[in-house]
Amino acid sequence: MKILLVRTSYRLHENYVYNRVAPPVGIMYLASCAREKFGDAEIKIVDLLIRDNYDQTLAEFKPDLVGFSTLTCEAFLLPDLIARAKSSAGRPLVIVGGPHATSSPLSIFAQTAADIVVLGEGELTFIEIIEKYSKDEDIAATAGAIVKVIDKKSGNFKIVRGPARSAIDKLDSLPFPAWDLIEIDEYQKYFDMNIWHSEDRYMTIFTSRGCPYQCIYCHRIFGKKPRFRSAENVVDEIEAVHKKYKIKEFQVIDDIYNLYPARIVKIAALLKERNIKVLFSFPNGLRADIMTEDTLKAMKESGAYNLTFAIESASPRLQKLMRKGVNVEKAEKIIEMAEKMGFIVNGFFMLGFPGETYFEMMGTVDFAVRSKLHHALFFSVNPHGFTELSETFYQSESHDACKGTQKYHYFNRYFNLANVSPIMFAYIMLYANIKFYLSLPRVYSLLKITPNYMKFLKQGIFFFFSIAYHNLSSLLKEVYRYYGPQKKIKK
Ligand code: B12
Ligand code: SF4
């Protein structure tokens, strides 16, 4: 069986501002699982984020099965990509998985020629589909999948949804991601999730799945029950990558790495015991109000130098509404402590929650500005499908998870449910960035702490200017939309 796994890419479309890359950990897991289960399977990965070799691979490799991993903002690319796969020599079975498949599965059947959509955590479902397909067994009703069943006589099709798939409890049972199937060195040529790199070469690592918190905007790919790989298993992976690929820098992309502090302490102890000297950054958000001094010390000891805290809003009302419930005062103290301990400290903020007022937005901006954060990202709230946010607040006719999906980008205000006008919203986004960075003490502390000036110059400076440019042009567009000639108003 020849299997091609494709990560779709947004790099060519208009939303260029947060144009980052990261190794495609999800499909690397699928590949290693398929290889472990079916020793004779030939597998290739095409990562369109870094290289456009899709048609060439289809023509030369002639896969029997093509699996796509897609985000909602890339979903508009699927119809064409799938059509090209379907007309290629191998006439492959097409499966779509990943965040968009989990968020808006039915839209994929409506818009593309995909055969199967896989929901959520994909390894076990993927293996079962391959097994059934290779034995020519019926795939419909596979747990975790939705299958298009075509009536051979009439040509009509129906959609069969299998039962829910249980989560993988023992994450240690999964093989490590298939690093050999990606071009590791290509990733360092592009901007990635960590603008403060110490080393050029890096690898991403995912050490836990599922989160017990209930934030209304969050994906549910891995469910609500947290599951952790053991400290030994995590350190084994780090050791393997370090030895095999001489990589020293790891980006931990867990949703909530610091949920289980004892494991962090154990990871630090094991790295020390095995004399593995590596560096860690956490670009995907840690929870500040459950962080402790001991956990920070253990992280520092194990080589962590760059932390990101997802605060989102300084308003207690909005913390309650979004069900994140961060204790903002505690978060502020932890940020200060982490800064004192010598970490680079980043913050994530979201503006534009339903009913959010001007004063609430400004309160969040003020919090960020007065905090000891080195770097802050101000995102606008967007409703992804299969989140409580989209189900509760965006049930209007204007919300169609398939329409304009390429605009589902953290810096775009595709919807505005906040209690401010679009112009004011755009202005606050611009103001937030200017106010945060136009501070001499902050710029000084940033320069003092940057571990790699070249990387910072390349990534950081470009990043700041692109955010400023994006925000300024959004503001001008809103002003033009409001005050410009009527005929030019875009609906
Ligand atoms: C690393 C990361 C990135 C990286 C790489 C993204 C990528 N395409 O791989 C970068 C930095 C590029 C990125 C950028 C963005 N990201 Co991002 N990112 C993540 C993050 C933190 C980890 C992804 C990961 O590797 N997970 C670990 C692996 C194991 O999980 P996985 O990829 O989901 O794969 C599993 C299943 O989904 C499934 N599966 C996946 N693919 C396939 C394919 C097949 C065939 C099958 C059967 C199964 C399957 O099986 C896998 C194993 O269980 C996730 C959050 C998260 N916890 O997943 C957000 C996440 C994917 N990002 C998200 C978003 C919104 C963005 C941005 C749009 C944000 C922005 N700037 O505005 C950008 C833009 C990206 C773009 N293409 O335009 C959302 C996507 C929601 C959605 N419905 O689309 C997520 C889920 C976070 C969230 N806020 O909810 N991101
Ligand atoms: S946003 Fe973070 S804390 Fe909230 S549910 Fe998602 S992963 Fe958990």
**Angle, CA of 358, 362 and 365, to the nearest 5°:** 150
* Model pLDDT, residue 383: 84
Q: Which one of the ligands is nearest to 94 CA?
A: 1
Residue 303 has pLDDT above 90, yes or no: yes
Alpha helix positions (H), 316-439: 316-321, 328-340, 358-370, 388-393, 422-437
pTM for the complete prediction?
0.95
Q: Provide the pLDDT confidence category of residue 426 given band limits of 50, 70 and 90.
A: very high
Same-domain check for residues 132 and 196: no
CB of 75 within 8 A of CB of 405?
Answer: yes
| Distance separating alpha carbons of residues 471 and 431, to the nearest angstrom | 9
* Model pLDDT, residue 17: 56
The predicted-structure confidence for 175-211, as pLDDT tens digits, reads as follows 999 999 999 999 988 888 888 888 889 999 999 999 9
The answer to whether residue 488 is domain-embedded is no
Whole-number average pLDDT of the chain: 91
Number of domains in the chain: 2
The answer to whether residue 421 is domain-embedded is yes
Residue 308 has pLDDT above 50, yes or no: yes
Residue ranges lining ligand 1, Cβ < 6 Å: 7, 10, 18, 20-22, 24-27, 29-30, 67-69, 71-74, 95, 97-100, 103, 118, 121-123, 126, 193, 206, 218-219, 221, 253, 255, 284, 384, 409-410
The answer to whether residue 175 is domain-embedded is no
Q: Report the 10 Å Cβ neighbour count for 336.
A: 14
Kindly give the number of the ligand 2 atom that is closest to the alpha carbon of 224. 5
Q: Which one of the ligands is nearest to 287 CA?
A: 2
Q: Provide the pLDDT confidence category of residue 402 given band limits of 50, 70 and 90.
A: very low
Q: Token pair of 104, please?
A: 């808006």
Same-domain check for residues 137 and 218: no
Which whole-number Å values give the CA distances from 74 to 48, 117, 295, in the listed order? 11, 16, 37
Kindly give the number of the ligand 2 atom that is closest to the alpha carbon of 213. 5
CB of 158 within 8 A of CB of 109?
Answer: no
Same-domain check for residues 253 and 115: no
What residues form DSSP beta bridges with 21? 192
The predicted-structure confidence for 459-476, as pLDDT tens digits, reads as follows 777 778 888 888 898 899
* Model pLDDT, residue 360: 98
| Distance separating alpha carbons of residues 146 and 12, to the nearest angstrom | 30
Q: Provide the pLDDT confidence category of residue 491 given band limits of 50, 70 and 90.
A: very low
Same-domain check for residues 97 and 148: yes
> What CATH number is associated with residue 22?
3.40.50.280
311 C-alpha to ligand 2 centroid (Å) = 11
Cβ-proximal residues to 240 (8 Å cutoff; 6+ apart), any chain: 176
Same-domain check for residues 42 and 92: yes
Residue 114 has pLDDT above 80, yes or no: yes
| Distance separating alpha carbons of residues 415 and 382, to the nearest angstrom | 7
Q: Token pair of 400, please?
A: 């169609």
| Distance separating alpha carbons of residues 97 and 153, to the nearest angstrom | 29
Q: Report the 10 Å Cβ neighbour count for 63.
A: 26
What residues form DSSP beta bridges with 192? 21
Same-domain check for residues 218 and 281: yes
Q: Report the 10 Å Cβ neighbour count for 111.
A: 16
Residue 430 has pLDDT above 90, yes or no: yes
Q: Token pair of 83, please?
A: 């059509």
| Distance separating alpha carbons of residues 203 and 477, to the nearest angstrom | 38
Q: Which of 116, 140, 161 is the last residue of a domain?
A: 161
Kindly give the number of the ligand 1 atom that is closest to the alpha carbon of 30. 52
> What CATH number is associated with residue 294?
3.80.30.20
213 C-alpha to ligand 1 centroid (Å) = 19
The answer to whether residue 177 is domain-embedded is no
Same-domain check for residues 226 and 152: no
**In which element (H, E) is residue 67 found?**
strand 65-69
Q: Token pair of 159, please?
A: 């959609």
The residue range of the domain holding 35 is: 2-161
CB of 104 within 8 A of CB of 72?
Answer: yes
User: Quick one: angle between helices 328-340 and 293-301, nearest 10?
Assistant: 40
| Distance separating alpha carbons of residues 89 and 8, to the nearest angstrom | 21
Q: Token pair of 449, please?
A: 């702490």
How far, in whole angstroms, is CA 160 from its chain's centroid? 29
The predicted-structure confidence for 353-401, as pLDDT tens digits, reads as follows 999 999 999 999 999 999 999 999 999 998 888 888 888 877 653 445 4
Q: Which of 143, 161, 179 is the last residue of a domain?
A: 161
Same-domain check for residues 195 and 266: yes
* Model pLDDT, residue 73: 85
Q: Token pair of 300, please?
A: 């520092």
Same-domain check for residues 113 and 237: no
Same-domain check for residues 307 and 367: yes
* Model pLDDT, residue 117: 98
Same-domain check for residues 275 and 360: yes
The answer to whether residue 470 is domain-embedded is yes
127 C-alpha to ligand 2 centroid (Å) = 28
The answer to whether residue 491 is domain-embedded is no
Same-domain check for residues 315 and 215: yes
The answer to whether residue 490 is domain-embedded is no
How far, in whole angstroms, is CA 344 from its chain's centroid? 21
Q: Which one of the ligands is nearest to 310 CA?
A: 2
Residue 405 one-letter amino acid: T
The answer to whether residue 64 is domain-embedded is yes
**In which element (H, E) is residue 235 found?**
helix 231-245
Kindly give the number of the ligand 1 atom that is closest to the alpha carbon of 254. 57
Residue ranges lining ligand 2, Cβ < 6 Å: 211, 213, 215, 218, 255-256, 287, 310, 324
